[in-house]
Chain A
Amino acid sequence: MGHLRGKLLPPALAIVFSLLLCGVALIISGANPLSAFGAMVTQVGKGTTFVDILNSTGIYYVAALAVAIGFQMNLFNIGVEGQYRVAAVVAAVVGGSIALPTGIHTLVIIIVAAIAGAAWAAIPAILKVTRGVNEVISTIMMNGLAIGLSAYLIRRDVFGELRGNNIRTAEIPESGWMPGISFGGSGTMFGFIFVAIALGIGYWIMMNKTRFGFELRASGESSTAASAGGVNSKKMVLVAMLLSGAIAGLISLPELLGRDHTFSLNFTAGIGFSGIAIALLGRNHPGGIAFGALLWAFLDKSGLALDNVGVPREIVTIMQGSIVLSVVVAYEVVRRFELASEQRRVGRELGTVGGAA
């Protein structure tokens, strides 16, 4: 019971706290917080919002998983943003230039995206392992390079083509698409969401049931104890980073395979950074991340309704920011409290002086 409380209490507290904070911000800016929140909730039932939220959740979920793998061993892969951008353009180029049977074509695109993401992550990983370069700095710089590289690759004299006033890669033939589930007027759910769910299950099994997951968690908990226990820290950095990059490579696939079929200037950016926030919110737990991704997607999509009631929708950004900030604080407070109460309990049951004496 206490265990569950320790896991659920912090995010609940954080959400309540950030709601209050945003309410105060809304009042200061002269709006009625209740009507604003009400508009956001009712928006879910309107038009394609519900399906949009589901689709966004799937994308955010994959992004947060990619970040979480690094977080498990205190590796801050800030470069998810760049990794999925590079993977998206490479996957779009490869997917648009080959002809394969239906299904296999899709599979090849997925594999190419994963490899491209891993390859982009390999550079900071190798730098860290061989030269001790901090991965935060190198991955941030790689993000900048990724923007340049993707812009170069879709130039008309490289792989791009001009359509209207948009530059994009060649369209992936229908054999490489991934069909979704249509809800008629309410939109189409990406088929890739099922891949995201499978990734979440795979992630849970890896973290809890395999030797690799154990070594990852041990390295994150105490790198010194892990190395004394025979965990090769360099290998772990390399593998975790590559895995994180590979999953990051999949982030853009729901849109690429399910809707856009091409990489263009309209590419959705910023998901990698949201993934960091969601992984923090979900405590790297596959269930927690799912909840965080859903919350994030809800705020994103329902926030559009705020314009209708005369509230700037940037209030959503404030809410997202304050949730992350307060959840990090809340987890730490609850963690310390739980450890102390656990120690007290052990002390009491064993009757040492330190207990309830």
Chain B
Amino acid sequence: MSSSTSARTDDPPAVVLTGITKRFPGVVANSDVHLTVRRGEVHALCGENGAGKSTLMKILYGMQPPDEGTIEVNGEQVRFRTPSDAIKAGIGMVHQHFMLADNLTVQENVVLGAEALHGIGKKARARIIELSGRTGLNVDPGVLVEQLGVADRQRVEILKVLYRGAKVIILDEPTAVLVPQEVNELFDTVRGMQEQGYTFLFISHKLDEVRAIADSVTVIRRGTTVGSADPKTVSSRQLAEMMVGSELPSPETRESTVTDTVVLDVKGLKLMTPDGTRPILDDVDMVVRSGEVVGIAGVEGNGQTELVETIMGMRKAGSGTITLQDKDLTKLGTLARREAGIGYIPEDRHRHGLLLTQPLWYNRILGYQTRKPTAKGIWLDTDGAKKDTERIVTEFDVRTPGIDVPAAALSGGNQQKLVVGRELSGDPVLLIASHPTRGVDVGAQALIWDEIKRARAAGLAVLLISADLDELIGLSDTIKVMLRGRLVADADPNTVTPEDLGSAMTGAGSTSAAVQETAVVEEGEN
């Protein structure tokens, strides 16, 4: 131990959370959480999706008051009512989803809401340039945020909290939006800032990243802290078992079940932005066969959402054809496409998958309002819907006291199991699964993977979109990389690594034999 480290340990810790409890209706919140972050360290908070990490950070950042427990910052007990109280105490938070105004400049975004500190003119600009260096942001403060890439936007977010005087910086799942190369750059930035005395609270569920960057790790499971570990000595496996409390599920599919029967055939699909200036989908050609899982990899915002919504008929394609089992869907509406045999797990189950205040059996009807067992002609078959909902609840292990509770009362994982169960009903020939396990617990994730695998083995064609590259590689028979609205490369899931995929996703070009470029991408306007 160096003397500087021991000097640090004499100081009071930067942040101490003691006995934090937060109750929320129906979802896992926090119960008796203890967390100590020493000054100048990178402290990782690990846990599965839904374990309560984000709630804890919201409490620390003053967005929600704890029901019980105390917060100490630099040895003094504090009580945050709003985020501005937390900011005053030197705590800053970089949210998982960026909170930037695209149509403002970097400087305007940083200064917005903190005009009192250095005004909005030259003084502010000088301060921003001074701080930019620490975050590795090498752009002029006058540049519009919409012209920045994802990594630079994240730096602007960090810059925002530095500008407000933060000494302790919470990074909420900072790598979720980054490709592996950008993750490394972020880590370099974090290490550099750590040397300048900043403290980081790094929230993640990606164990390799945690072990690469953290000085200490606290694991949270089902809302409570289950222990701490030294990332230098602990293995990923041990950490994972702390996180899930059991064996890890694996998305891997074993033997191929791909057949020659083409189920979905997309040809020359084009979609323009509403103003008609820029293509969102540019000449997309794709085939999904019976028993095949085709995975689409891509950084979010490169057209995956639009591709799915165009195939579902929720957006109208500019040109191109969509064929399902020799049936031309191009001119049909969403309902007719569903009736033709498409099941659809939407990426946002709250917005697109469920009627939250309605009972579970009522949700069973959504998308099936013209078909057995939930409808007979123009009449609803409520008995049939209820019976079939009971079946889904049993088969898909939806944890609920009954089928009459509103969908909003279930936890995220159980809501998703209901959606998956519904979309696999009625013998679909094609399943479109957009981020099927996003924000669900490990148990639900394993079940959803199993169900997709089982349906695939029974001949279902699956189009899988996921930001979780492990899920994508594990489940897919074929991977296609999407960049700026085009399918630019094919990858072999048996040999490709997440790093190779990440490089292809950013358009850096092929770095491995496992990724084969299928289209040349002209450089964008950046």
On whether the beta carbons of B369 and A227 are closer than 8 Å, the reply is: no
A345 and B409 CA atoms in complex are apart in Å by 9
A210 and B27 CA atoms in complex are apart in Å by 34
On whether the beta carbons of B357 and A339 are closer than 8 Å, the reply is: yes
User: Which of A42-50, A82-90, A211-219 is the interface stretch?
Assistant: A211-219
Chain B, range 186-226, C-beta contacts under 8 Å to A:
222-224
A16 and B23 CA atoms in complex are apart in Å by 34
With A212-B378, A228-B344, A343-B408 as known contacts, state yes or no: A353 contacts B26, CB within 8 Å: no
Q: Is residue B105 contacting chain A, with contact meaning CB distance below 8 A?
A: no
Chain A residues with Cβ below 8 Å from B25 are 339-344, 347, 354
On whether the beta carbons of A228 and B401 are closer than 8 Å, the reply is: no
On whether the beta carbons of A354 and B338 are closer than 8 Å, the reply is: no
Chain A residues with Cβ below 8 Å from B400 are 346, 350
Q: Is residue B31 contacting chain A, with contact meaning CB distance below 8 A?
A: yes
Chain A residues with Cβ below 8 Å from B336 are 230
On whether the beta carbons of A214 and B365 are closer than 8 Å, the reply is: yes
On whether the beta carbons of B353 and A353 are closer than 8 Å, the reply is: no
Chain A residues with Cβ below 8 Å from B335 are 229-232
Chain A, range 175-206, C-beta contacts under 8 Å to B:
none
Which chain A residue shows the least CB distance to B342? A230
A231 and B338 CA atoms in complex are apart in Å by 11
Give the shortest distance, in Å, between A133 (CB) and chain B (any CB). Answer: 18
On whether the beta carbons of A230 and B369 are closer than 8 Å, the reply is: yes
A212 and B377 CA atoms in complex are apart in Å by 11
Chain B residues with Cβ below 8 Å from A208 are 380
Which chain A residue shows the least CB distance to B26? A343
On whether the beta carbons of B365 and A222 are closer than 8 Å, the reply is: no
Contact with B along A302-341 (1 / 0, CB 8 A): 0000000000000000000000000000000000000111
A355 and B399 CA atoms in complex are apart in Å by 14
On whether the beta carbons of B31 and A357 are closer than 8 Å, the reply is: yes
Chain B residues with Cβ below 8 Å from A230 are 333-339, 367, 369-370
A281 and B247 CA atoms in complex are apart in Å by 54
Contact with A along B342-367 (1 / 0, CB 8 A): 00101000011111111000000111
Q: Is residue A157 contacting chain B, with contact meaning CB distance below 8 A?
A: no
With A343-B408, A354-B28 as known contacts, state yes or no: A225 contacts B353, CB within 8 Å: yes
A308 and B427 CA atoms in complex are apart in Å by 72
Q: Is residue A352 contacting chain B, with contact meaning CB distance below 8 A?
A: yes
On whether the beta carbons of A232 and B333 are closer than 8 Å, the reply is: yes
Which chain A residue shows the least CB distance to B349? A225
- Please tell me which one of the listed residues B29, B223, B367, B375 contacts residue A229 in the complex, with CB atoms under 8 A apart: B367
Chain A residues with Cβ below 8 Å from B222 are 352-353
Give the shortest distance, in Å, between A223 (CB) and chain B (any CB). Answer: 10
Give the shortest distance, in Å, between A243 (CB) and chain B (any CB). Answer: 14
A225 and B278 CA atoms in complex are apart in Å by 27
Q: Is residue A163 contacting chain B, with contact meaning CB distance below 8 A?
A: no
Which secondary structure characterizes the binding site on chain B? loop
Chain B residues with Cβ below 8 Å from A214 are 365, 369, 380
On whether the beta carbons of B352 and A209 are closer than 8 Å, the reply is: no
On whether the beta carbons of B334 and A224 are closer than 8 Å, the reply is: no
On whether the beta carbons of A346 and B26 are closer than 8 Å, the reply is: yes
On whether the beta carbons of B223 and A343 are closer than 8 Å, the reply is: no
On whether the beta carbons of B401 and A221 are closer than 8 Å, the reply is: no
On whether the beta carbons of B399 and A211 are closer than 8 Å, the reply is: no
Chain B residues with Cβ below 8 Å from A222 are 351, 354-356
Chain A residues with Cβ below 8 Å from B52 are 353
Chain B, range 53-102, C-beta contacts under 8 Å to A:
none
Give the shortest distance, in Å, between A234 (CB) and chain B (any CB). Answer: 10
Q: Is residue B384 contacting chain A, with contact meaning CB distance below 8 A?
A: no
Q: Is residue B312 contacting chain A, with contact meaning CB distance below 8 A?
A: yes
Give the shortest distance, in Å, between B122 (CB) and chain A (any CB). Answer: 44
On whether the beta carbons of B346 and A228 are closer than 8 Å, the reply is: yes
Give the shortest distance, in Å, between B22 (CB) and chain A (any CB). Answer: 9
Chain A residues with Cβ below 8 Å from B365 are 214
Give the shortest distance, in Å, between B339 (CB) and chain A (any CB). Answer: 8
A213 and B358 CA atoms in complex are apart in Å by 14
Give the shortest distance, in Å, between B30 (CB) and chain A (any CB). Answer: 8
On whether the beta carbons of B26 and A229 are closer than 8 Å, the reply is: no
A72 and B212 CA atoms in complex are apart in Å by 54
Chain A, range 136-195, C-beta contacts under 8 Å to B:
none
On whether the beta carbons of B26 and A352 are closer than 8 Å, the reply is: yes
On whether the beta carbons of A225 and B354 are closer than 8 Å, the reply is: yes
With A211-B375, A218-B366, A340-B25 as known contacts, state yes or no: A228 contacts B406, CB within 8 Å: no
Which chain A residue shows the least CB distance to B224? A353
Which chain A residue shows the least CB distance to B22? A354
Which chain B residue shows the least CB distance to A223? B351
A296 and B7 CA atoms in complex are apart in Å by 77
Q: Is residue B410 contacting chain A, with contact meaning CB distance below 8 A?
A: yes
On whether the beta carbons of B344 and A210 are closer than 8 Å, the reply is: no
With A346-B400, A353-B28, A354-B29 as known contacts, state yes or no: A221 contacts B378, CB within 8 Å: no
Which chain A residue shows the least CB distance to B346? A228
On whether the beta carbons of B26 and A209 are closer than 8 Å, the reply is: no
Contact with A along B8-34 (1 / 0, CB 8 A): 000000000000000111111111000
On whether the beta carbons of A344 and B26 are closer than 8 Å, the reply is: yes
A212 and B375 CA atoms in complex are apart in Å by 11
On whether the beta carbons of A350 and B399 are closer than 8 Å, the reply is: yes
- Please tell me which one of the listed residues A218, A227, A229, A346 contacts residue B410 in the complex, with CB atoms under 8 A apart: A346
On whether the beta carbons of B26 and A218 are closer than 8 Å, the reply is: no
On whether the beta carbons of A211 and B352 are closer than 8 Å, the reply is: no
On whether the beta carbons of B367 and A228 are closer than 8 Å, the reply is: yes
A219 and B400 CA atoms in complex are apart in Å by 25
Contact with A along B150-166 (1 / 0, CB 8 A): 00000000000000000
With A352-B411, A354-B24 as known contacts, state yes or no: A346 contacts B405, CB within 8 Å: yes
A340 and B24 CA atoms in complex are apart in Å by 9
Which chain B residue shows the least CB distance to A341? B25
On whether the beta carbons of B354 and A354 are closer than 8 Å, the reply is: no
Chain B, range 389-432, C-beta contacts under 8 Å to A:
399-401, 405-406, 408-411
Chain A residues with Cβ below 8 Å from B338 are 229-230
Chain B residues with Cβ below 8 Å from A353 are 28-31, 52, 222-224
Additional pairs, 15, CB under 8 Å, beyond known A208-B380, A212-B378, A228-B344: A211-B379, A213-B380, A215-B369, A228-B334, A228-B352, A230-B338, A231-B335, A232-B334, A232-B335, A339-B406, A342-B406, A343-B409, A344-B26, A347-B27, A353-B29
Interface residues, chain B, CB within 8 Å of chain A? 23-31, 52, 222-224, 312, 314, 333-339, 344, 346, 351-358, 365-367, 369-370, 375, 378-380, 382, 399-401, 405-406, 408-411
Closest A-B pairs by Cβ, 9 of them: A230-B335, A343-B25, A343-B26, A229-B367, A229-B366, A228-B352, A353-B223, A347-B26, A230-B334
List 23 A-B residue pairs with CB atoms under 8 Å apart, sorted by A's residue number: A211-B369, A211-B378, A214-B365, A217-B355, A217-B358, A221-B358, A222-B356, A225-B355, A228-B344, A228-B352, A228-B367, A229-B335, A229-B366, A229-B369, A231-B369, A343-B26, A343-B409, A346-B400, A346-B401, A352-B27, A353-B30, A354-B27, A354-B223
